[in-house]
Amino acid sequence: MEIGDWRQKIDELDEQIVRLINERAAAAKAIGELKHSAALPVYEPKREQQVFDHVCRNNPGPLADAELLHVYERIIDVMRTLQRREP
């Protein structure tokens, strides 16, 4: 494949990633609303660690776990912000 072909592949993958991140955000928002109704804290370090452990167990590479965790730390930070918004 040529560089243009790889870039088209990346564009297609980015479209899928955007769709999936937004699906994840919708689920996180629903959880945030439930937490708000039940007066539960948004920040749950044990749950976040479970997510990190889960993604590392399912990481086939080529990203190292530490690199993948860097991405997921940011995703979770954004999801936490979304959950803190008023429903």
Q: What is the chain's mean pLDDT, rounded?
A: 96
The tally of domains found in the chain comes to 1
Q: How far apart are CA 16 and CA 74, in angstroms?
A: 18
14-31 tens-digit pLDDT: 999 999 999 999 999 999
In DSSP notation, 30-57 reads: HHHHHHHHTT--S--HHHHHHHHHHHHH
Q: How far is CA 51 from the centre of its chain?
A: 9
What are 37-59's pLDDT values in tens digits? 999 999 999 999 999 999 999 99
**Domain, as residue range, for 37:** 3-84
Residue 70 sits in a domain whose CATH number is 1.20.59.10
The whole-model pTM stands at 0.90
Tokens of 22: 């937004």
Distance separating alpha carbons of residues 37 and 47, to the nearest angstrom: 19
